[in-house]
Amino acid sequence: MKTASPITSPSPSAFPAVWLRDNCPCPECRDPRNDQKLFGVTDLDPRIEVVEIDGTTVTFSDGHVVRFDPAWLAAHALDGTVPDDRAEDAKRLWAVLPPPEGSWSRCLSDPSHLLECLDTVLHTGFVLLRGVPAEPGRVLEVAAVLGYVRETNYGRLFDVRVEATPVNLAFTGLPIGPHTDNPYRDPVPTVQLLHCLSNAVAGGESGFVDGFHAAALLRAEDPAAFELLARTPVTFRYGDANTELTATRPMIGLDPLGRIREVRFNNRSLRPVRLPYERTEAFYAAYRAFAEILARPGLQVNVRLGPGDCVVFDNTRILHARTGFAETGERHLQGCYADLDGLAGNLAVLRRRQAVVEHLRELFEGPGAADYLGEEVTQAAHMLQTAACAVRDGAAPGLVAAALLHDVGHFTGEITGHDLMGGTDNRHSHVGADWLGRWFGPEVTEPVRLHVAAKRYLCAVESSYYDLLSEASRYTLGVQGGPMGAEEVAGFEAEPYARDAVRLRRWDDEAKEPGRVVAGFDEYAALLHRLVR
Amino acid sequence: MKTASPITSPSPSAFPAVWLRDNCPCPECRDPRNDQKLFGVTDLDPRIEVVEIDGTTVTFSDGHVVRFDPAWLAAHALDGTVPDDRAEDAKRLWAVLPPPEGSWSRCLSDPSHLLECLDTVLHTGFVLLRGVPAEPGRVLEVAAVLGYVRETNYGRLFDVRVEATPVNLAFTGLPIGPHTDNPYRDPVPTVQLLHCLSNAVAGGESGFVDGFHAAALLRAEDPAAFELLARTPVTFRYGDANTELTATRPMIGLDPLGRIREVRFNNRSLRPVRLPYERTEAFYAAYRAFAEILARPGLQVNVRLGPGDCVVFDNTRILHARTGFAETGERHLQGCYADLDGLAGNLAVLRRRQAVVEHLRELFEGPGAADYLGEEVTQAAHMLQTAACAVRDGAAPGLVAAALLHDVGHFTGEITGHDLMGGTDNRHSHVGADWLGRWFGPEVTEPVRLHVAAKRYLCAVESSYYDLLSEASRYTLGVQGGPMGAEEVAGFEAEPYARDAVRLRRWDDEAKEPGRVVAGFDEYAALLHRLVR
């Protein structure tokens, strides 16, 4: 079996002095609250040099001294990579595939499902959400969960159905070939949502084509045509009584490294190109070659949207089409636009939160599942039983999480739970609360912080309480300071989270029963996810 | 004196067959309601040819025959131009200039002033609107008139003032160097508005720099540095508890023809570049060279925003800065984002409307000012007197416009007012109404259409009316059909705009007084502008 080799951190000498100085992580140079740099590039000494390197600690010629985190240096090695989640090499290109589906109700209840759906839009290009109530306006609720609605001349929301005097081909029953929307807008809306309220007509199927894949095929099959489309800005236009929009951009947009980054394709609104004669002919040949690839049946995924279906797609990449339908039947979609940056941002926040949940899961499955601290249940089982008591008693989500996590301080501090059992107070309630404070608010951290104090408090104010304690708990009570004195009791009662801590304490005492079957960590994943800040 | 040479229209043979066929203007190929093409490029015969050209009428090998408008062909000559209002060559670049100012109240009352302000944002890059009421939320009203608000994680609207726990440097009293906003967003908001509610601190001045001009200077002074910044995508990032945004784009964005099209500049949120060592050094040298140009005092316009000032600027081009200020004083701005496409679209619609108004003005100043039709006042004076009567009597704007324009049919038809005086009914009311119908709704066109019928109606139903008519009017009554019969009277009374037409008719009869001083055409320009559809 192969094992992963440990990451070797580069020395600071692998980076230019100006790079190191500009990326100094110290709180004078970078605001810890938002990670923003507090200076401009011209504020740096143009002759900045490194005068000493000691491990990863760097002394600069301007007198500044800072230690770089070796893992951070390793993660930012000067390897020439320019990762960009919007460029072709970050995408999963496809020819045909079963339409990726998600459940709207699961998106609302389970952050990890929402995360998968957003990831699918960003990397596959579209997702078909099922079960969005077939009621007018609901598409805006979907957009609000994904990102922010982009309002346009069509409104925050638009209806796609047959109209008597259509201002746009969309509002007829005519078939529409693969296209991107609003090519005459710059910035173009980067996400589109289409929500089906009714679809009782014959025809009216929706089709989706991966424009990045098609462009990559064109590049492989006809490199000159690809170059011509990428190097020729063309103008798209839309006008009606109150609107006059134009945008001038190439049909295939590349980033400065030549990677495909945007497709704009819509003959309806293409204005006449004004290239010289021969180049115009070459342009049309290239345009046709691209259009023919886009029209290949093997590259189109077809879906018949039914009431409650909402398709969400990347309008810079995925072309959509629809077959014609009888204008007499009822077919009603509602659509709106949004943007990929907001969607990708929400995805990144969900990932950050998921990473916290995964980290906690590892604690439960690793040390927590193996460790006994003088009780007949593992620490993981003890915490799960405590959480189950909190759920049974209708505790608020923050307090359920506090119950679930109240003893994490035993694993995360430098002094462990075993030290506590050996007679050294590991202050696990404070250590745990501080550790959790990186991700959770006081509704989680403070009951954890006070749960040991609550034991000492109850021993002081409730004569029968001491008798309920387990043997191990009576032992640690001494290590932790014994019952509170009168002044301490008053101080404890003044704490805002004292009542929650006392509730937690009673569940804690109750949760030491070997073999009791309770919900596992997974049952709490969504609850934890939503509490992460 | 030089006179403009007449435009010579190119022959259709100057255009490739596929271009002509794709740009066919006939209503089968192009929806007249929205100018959208009704076919895709693959619907065209790949071997399409022109088989005959007769003048500008083209017969294609697929049997399609169409006549091209010679003026349209001339306007779309294949001269290789790729006009793009967002690229540097469409801009008025500047080093320093007096801050361009506008009045918010004039924007609301006078479309041509609004037009100038929007044009200034699009072409100069920013405008300082004075007199926006210094009340919270008003900036959204300004944005709504310019285009559409772009909602972000900062909300639809954000407050810029000192905060206790700032998530962003903007919310402190620290100085901030020239930068563009939200470089970590893609699409970046292309317009920013900042509205001053109060500014009682020492310092806190706002500065503006033309980033396109600075980039063009860099290109002239250090072409290699310019190339490096244009060819190197860099990543910008912003993160807080609920946000995690990144965008990867070059600091100087070019279009495929190499024209400067976007500047992104903000050291605060620049992530570490990961280019190879030497290229990293070269990148920093280029970055510093650009930053030093941006910091040149001779390139920055400084403004002290006072309460009621609202600056609107192109965030893809104009960098903004502010000097530091004492955090104890009161300084409160509200900002929001919007987009250039909406702004440019509104500008284009205003221009279209203005062109209509200018065309009407030419009628008044040209033939209308010279023509007498049997009265002692010119036709222009007659129509202005009619409009003045309508204003005096509190008529609605549509009816004022109808009064002003009721006789335009004398100039616009093939049969003129002089033919009418010669005994041939030129049906000027219908001709005028139809002509006006290209731009105006029925509230304008229908009273015009019915104003001759109203004379015939009044002669039939009001015995004293005939006596009021001028001699010329009595003469034309006969040419126009004489007083109505009973059936015609009933038909007229059933017309929805009959009452307006009768009011217009009475003003018409009253408006033939030589030398009466009334408001000129200019006084009606804004009213007409707002009525154009």
- Residue A245, helix vs strand vs coil: strand
Task: Tell me which of B349, B356, B530 to substitute to probe the interface with A (most A C-beta atoms closer than 10 Å).
Answer: B349
A42 and B533 within 8 Å at the Cβ level: the answer is no
Rounded to an integer, what is the distance from CA B136 to the centroid of its chain?
A: 28
Q: Distance between CA atoms of A272 and B68, rounded to whole angstroms?
A: 13
Q: Tell me if A50 sits within 8 A of A17, measured CB to CB.
A: yes
CB contact under 8 A, A34 and B242: no
DSSP class of A38:
S
Q: What string of DSSP letters covers A477-523?
A: HHHTT-S--HHHHHHHHTSTTHHHHHHHHHHHHH---TT-----GGG
Nearest-CA neighbor of A178 among A221, A148, A208? A208
User: Can you tell me whether residue B70 is helix, strand or coil?
Assistant: helix
Spatial distance between the Cα atoms of B501 and B448, rounded to a whole number of angstroms: 7
- Mean pLDDT across B112-133: 98
Q: Which residues contact B367 (CB under 8 A, 6 or more apart)?
A: B379, B411
**B295–A42: do the CB atoms touch at under 8 Å?**
yes
Contacts of B22 in chain A (CB under 8 A): 267, 270, 272, 284
Distance from C-alpha of B144 to C-alpha of B446, rounded to nearest angstrom: 32
The whole-number pLDDT of residue A49 equals 97
CA distance A156 to B144: 13
Positions of E strands within A143-294: 149-150, 158-160, 176-179, 191-199, 206-210, 233-240, 243-250, 252-254, 260-263
A274 → closest Cβ in B77, B295, B352: B77
**Cα B280-B285-B288 angle, rounded to 5 deg:** 120
Listed range (B132-146, B162-176, B494-508, B514-528) with the worst mean pLDDT: B162-176
Q: Please report, for residues A486, B356, B407, B441, B445, the alpha-carbon distance to residue B522 in angstroms, rounded to integers and kept in the order given.
A: 87, 13, 18, 21, 21
Looking up tokens 């023509």 gives: B371
CB B123 within 8 A of CB B156: no
Q: Searching chain A, which residue's CA lies closest to the CA of residue B187?
A: A187
Of B19, B255, B280, the CB nearest to A233: B255
Mean pLDDT to the nearest integer, B148-165: 88
Residue B141: CB atoms within 10 Å: 16
For B177, the 3-state DSSP assignment is strand
Q: Min CA distance, A224 vs chain B (Å)?
A: 15
Using CA atoms in the order B417, B421, B423, B425, what is the torsion angle rounded to 10 degrees?
30
Which is nearest to A128 in space by CA: A300, A336, A307, A311? A311
Q: Which residue of A has its CA nearest to B154?
A: A148
Provide the pLDDT confidence category of residue B7 given band limits of 50, 70 and 90. low
Q: Coil, strand, or helix at residue B321? A: strand
The residue of chain A nearest to residue B33, with distances taken between CA atoms, is A167
Determine, for residues A272 and B76 on separate chains, whether the beta-carbon distance falls below 8 Å: yes
Q: Is the peptide bond between A178 and the residue preceding it cis, with omega within 30 degrees of 0? A: no
Sequential DSSP letters for A273-337: P---HHHHHHHHHHHHHHHHHHT-GGGEEEE---TT-EEEEETTTEEEEE--B-TTS-EEEEEEE
More confident residue, A97 or B202: A97
pLDDT in tens, chain A (533 residues): 344 445 578 999 999 999 999 999 999 999 887 888 999 999 999 999 999 999 999 999 999 999 999 999 999 999 999 999 999 999 999 999 999 999 999 999 999 999 999 999 999 999 999 999 999 999 999 999 999 999 998 899 999 887 766 777 777 778 889 999 999 999 999 999 999 999 988 888 999 999 999 999 999 999 999 999 999 999 999 998 889 999 999 999 999 999 999 999 999 999 999 999 999 999 999 999 999 999 998 999 999 999 999 999 999 999 999 988 887 778 899 999 999 999 999 999 999 999 999 999 999 998 888 777 777 899 999 999 999 999 999 999 999 999 999 999 988 777 777 777 887 777 889 999 999 999 999 999 999 999 999 999 999 999 899 988 888 888 989 888 899 999 999 999 999 999 999 999 999 999 999 989 999 999 999 999 999 98
DSSP A106-149: HHHH-HHHHHHHHHHHHHTSEEEEE---SSTTHHHHHHHHHS-E
| The pLDDT value given to residue B26 | 96
Q: Which of A18, A37, A169 sits opposite B267 (nearest CB)?
A: A37
Q: Which of B79, B232, B248 to mutate to test the interface with A (most CBs of A within 10 A)?
A: B248
A472 close to A421: Cβ distance less than 8 angstroms: yes
Domains of chain B: 12-75 (3.30.2020.30), 89-200+210-303+313-344 (3.60.130.10), 353-531 (1.10.3210.10)
Structure token pair of residue A454: 């609550």
Tokens encoding B384: 């202005």
- Contacts of residue B344, Cβ cutoff 8 Å, sequence gap at least 6: A245, A246, B85, B118, B122
Q: Measured between CB atoms, which of B23, B153, B277 is closest to A16?
A: B277
Counting one residue from A and one from B, how many pairs have CB atoms under 8 Å apart?
A: 269
Rounded to the nearest angstrom, the minimum Cα separation between B489 and chain A is 34
Q: What is the pLDDT of residue A416?
A: 74
> Would you say B35 and A244 are in contact if contact means Cβ atoms under 8 Å apart?
no
User: Best interface-test mutation with A: which of B18, B23, B341, B350 has the largest number of A CBs within 10 A?
Assistant: B341
What chain A residue is nearest to B252 in terms of C-alpha separation? Answer: A256
Question: What DSSP string describes B200-222?
Answer: -SSB--EEEEEHHHHHHHHHHH-
- Phi then psi dihedrals of residue B172, to 5 deg: -125, 180
Which residues on A lie below 8 Å from B49 (Cβ)? none
Return the H-helix or E-strand segment holding A50. Answer: strand A50-54
Tokens representing residue A237 in the block = 């236009």
Identify the CA nearest to B129 among candidates B102, B109, B106. Answer: B102
Instruction: Tell me if B280 and A15 make a contact (CB, 8 A cut-off).
Output: yes
Alpha-carbon distance A484 to A502, whole Å? 14
Residue B6 has pLDDT above 70, yes or no: no
- Give the residue from B34, B39, B279 with the most A CB atoms within 10 Å of its CB, the best one to mutate: B34
CB–CB contact B165 A342 (8 Å) = no
> Above 50 in pLDDT, residue B1?
no
User: Does residue B68 carry a pLDDT above 50?
Assistant: yes
CB-based contact A256 B277, cutoff 8 Å: no
Half-sphere exposure of B411 (CA within 13 A, CB side): 23
Could you say which of B36, B76, B86 has the minimum Cβ distance to residue A168? B36
Computed over every residue of chain B, the mean pLDDT equals: 93
- Say which DSSP state A154 is in: T
Question: Which chain A residues are Cβ-neighbours of B286 within 8 angstroms?
Answer: none
> Rounded to an integer, what distance in angstroms lies between the CA atom of residue B30 and that of residue B35?
6
SS3 track for A385-432 = HHHHHHHHCCCCHHHHHHHHHCCCHHHHCCCCHHHHHCCCCCCHHHHH
What is the band of B326 on the pLDDT scale with cuts at 50, 70, 90?
confident
As given in the structure block, the two tokens for residue B15 are: 């255009």
* CB-closest option in B34, B39, B83 to A167: B34
Q: Which of B367, B414, B395 is nearest to B504 (CA)?
A: B395
User: C-alpha distances in angstroms, B64 versus A177, B37, B38?
Assistant: 22, 15, 15
The per-residue pLDDT for A4 is 46
| Structure token pair of residue A64 | 């500044």
Give the residue-averaged pLDDT of B303-308.
95
**Shortest CA distance from B254: residue in chain A:** A256
Comparing CB atoms, the residue among A84, A87, A268 nearest residue B37 is A268
For residue B242 the two structure tokens come to 């609920």
SS3 B320: strand
The reported pLDDT for the residue numbered A245 is: 96
Strand bridging mode A101-103 / A126-130:
parallel
Pairwise pLDDT comparison (B63 vs B168), residue with the higher score: B63
User: How far is it, in rounded angstroms, from Cα A500 to Cα B59?
Assistant: 86
Of the candidates B149, B275, B281, the beta carbon closest to that of A80 is on: B275
Q: Is A87 in contact with B272 (Cβ distance < 8 A)? A: no
Residue of B353 and B422 predicted with greater confidence: B353
Q: What's residue A7's pLDDT?
A: 57
In chain B, % of residues over pLDDT 70: 98
- Residue B421 tokens read as 């005086």
Report chain B residues whose CB lies below 8 A from the CB of A250: 256
Cα distances (angstroms) measured from residue A165 to each of A260, A354, B100, B445: 38, 49, 42, 21
